[in-house]
Amino acid sequence: MQVQHQANSVMAAVSELTAHVEEVDDRDRDNTNHNNHDREPGSEHVAIRRLIRRLRISEPPTRFRELAANVLRASLGAQAVVWIPRDQGEPPIIAGRVEGVDWIDYRELATAGARDAAGSVAPVPMPTVKEYARASAGHAGWVVAVNPPGGRAFLPAEVERIHYVASLIGTQLANSGIYAELKGLLFGVIRALTAAIDAKDPYTSGHSERVARIAVRLAEELELPAPQHADLYVAGLLHDVGKIGVDDEVLNKQSPLSADEYQKIQAHVEIGVRILRDLKKLNHILPGVRHHHESYDGTGYPDRLSGDAIPVEARILAVADSFDAMSSNRPYRRRLGLNQIDQIFHEGRGRQWDPRIVDALFACRADVEAIRQKGLGESLIGAVDAALGRG
């Protein structure tokens, strides 16, 4: 009963997270479409369009501000463009250099009393600052541009462009705050789902985490791209989430399963997909969840896929899952010895498991033994970043 309540709570959190992600995605698209519609035409705005394309919730604020300062400076031809955060504990971002002017001087330029409603201000008592213009990014800070080319004043269109970039920075900062909240929520949902799996089947407590870490190490050995490492980590944590929907009596049965009970166990992969499919930011891990019990020779379940038709993530999870299962105590048997495990993998190579992945397991066997003992933490944080950062 307690586990069922936990599962219901988790599913409510999944629904909440789905709504949040879709809302922010819609807001991202609305902001981008609005900015695309409002921008001025002309080749000088090609660089500004680069900023619009980077206006995403997952873009780190510091990186976006650095890009904004450099893009705006190139667009204006100014001697320097500076981002001055309102929080004095944050460092400024300076693109370009004006002789004899440091970040304290730039902050003075940003915070001095307004001299012009348009944002362009008269020369100040800094010998090397001939002209400057500034724009506020709301509560975040200011953009200051110094010394346009030719010793002239900033043109009205240029001042407007400075304000435009400042507004982009403010928007991106607001988005990044929402992103941090979403990341925390998704992190919590994944950990809650993993805890629900462990609570459902105490014999496999910690199994999902170990499978996740082993899968990542296998991906490294196979030299797969880094984004797949993050996908495998999350898929490993959630590969057995469907067991939440399997009867405790079946999961914890110590005697052999009947045919009907075995079908109930097999159903956990499809139940897992149903639990996770409304989380659009995790849709890319669903093939691993669904197919990690397929066999390389086509005798597995649920779809009897074979060879390369099985997604590579599922083939990796199959090896990681089997290794940890054989290395752990279960209701119906004690853990197997290392020699027994090796023999089973050798016999199943090319039949139950992809031979290339079995070879990778043996190549990094010592590492696999070591990483099984590590705890949940930074790996999941990084994986959540990767998941939310998808377009």
158 shares a domain with 226: no
Both 221 and 370 in a single domain?
A: yes
Tell me the per-residue pLDDT of 113-143, one tens digit each, with 9 for 90 and over.
544 434 444 445 688 888 999 999 988 899 9
Give the β-pairing of 141-146 and 132-136.
antiparallel
Dmax (CA) for the chain in angstroms is 88
pLDDT digits (tens, 9 = 90+) for 276-294: 988 888 899 999 999 999 9
Query: How many percent of the chain have pLDDT more than 70?
Result: 74
Query: Phi first, then psi: what are they for 341, rounded to 5°?
Result: -60, -45
Domain presence at residue 105: yes
Task: Answer yes or no: do 229 and 330 share one domain.
Answer: yes
Per DSSP, the three-state class of 133 is strand
Residue 113 placed within a domain: yes
- DSSP, collapsed to helix, strand or coil, labels residue 354 as coil
Please check whether residues 146 and 254 belong to one and the same domain: no
The verdict on 246 and 166 lying in the same domain is: no
Same domain, 239 and 315: yes
> 3-class secondary structure for 190-228?
HHHHHHHHHHHCHHHCCHHHHHHHHHHHHHHHCCCCHHH
Give pLDDT tens digits along the chain (391 positions): 444 444 444 444 445 444 544 454 454 445 444 444 443 444 456 666 766 776 666 667 788 888 889 989 988 999 999 999 988 888 899 999 999 898 888 888 888 754 443 444 444 568 888 899 999 998 889 999 999 999 899 999 999 999 989 988 888 888 777 777 877 788 888 888 888 887 776 666 678 888 999 999 999 999 999 889 989 999 999 999 999 888 888 887 778 888 999 899 899 999 999 999 888 888 999 999 999 999 999 999 999 999 999 999 999 999 999 998 888 766 666 777 888 999 999 999 999 999 999 999 999 998 988 876 564 444 555 566 666 555 5
What range defines the domain where residue 383 resides? 201-388
- Residue 224 pLDDT: 95
Q: Which residue out of 130, 183, 200, 243 is catalytically annotated?
A: 243
Among 177, 210, 239, which residue terminates a domain? 177
CATH number reported for the structural domain that contains residue 256 in this entry: 1.10.3210.10
Q: Is residue 132 part of a domain?
A: yes
Gap between the Cα atoms of 148 and 161, Å rounded: 13
- Judgement on whether residues 108 and 70 belong to the same structural domain of the protein: yes
Let me know if 267 is exposed, middle or buried by CB neighbors in 10 A (0-12, 13-18, 19+).
middle
Same domain, 164 and 211: no
Task: Indicate if 220 and 334 belong to the same structural domain.
Answer: yes
Q: How far apart are CA 175 and CA 169, in angstroms?
A: 10
Which of 358, 294, 265 minimizes the C-alpha distance to 320? 358
Residue 167 shares a structural domain with residue 205? no
Task: State yes or no: is 243 an active-site residue.
Answer: yes
> Could you tell me the CATH number of the domain that includes residue 93?
3.30.450.40
234 and 371 both lie in a single domain = yes
In a domain, 182, yes or no: no
The residues, any chain, with a CB within 8 Å of residue 257's CB and separated by 6 or more, are 250, 265
Domain boundary among 177, 211, 230: 177
Cα gap 303→305, rounded to integer Å: 5
How far is Cα 153 from Cα 169, in angstroms, rounded to an integer? 24
Tokens at residue 381, please?
A: 């944080």
Residue 146 domain-assigned? yes
Residue 22 lies in a domain: no
Number of domains in the chain: 2
pLDDT of residue 20: 44
Q: Which two tokens stand for residue 317?
A: 């999870």
Residues 287 and 234 in one domain: yes
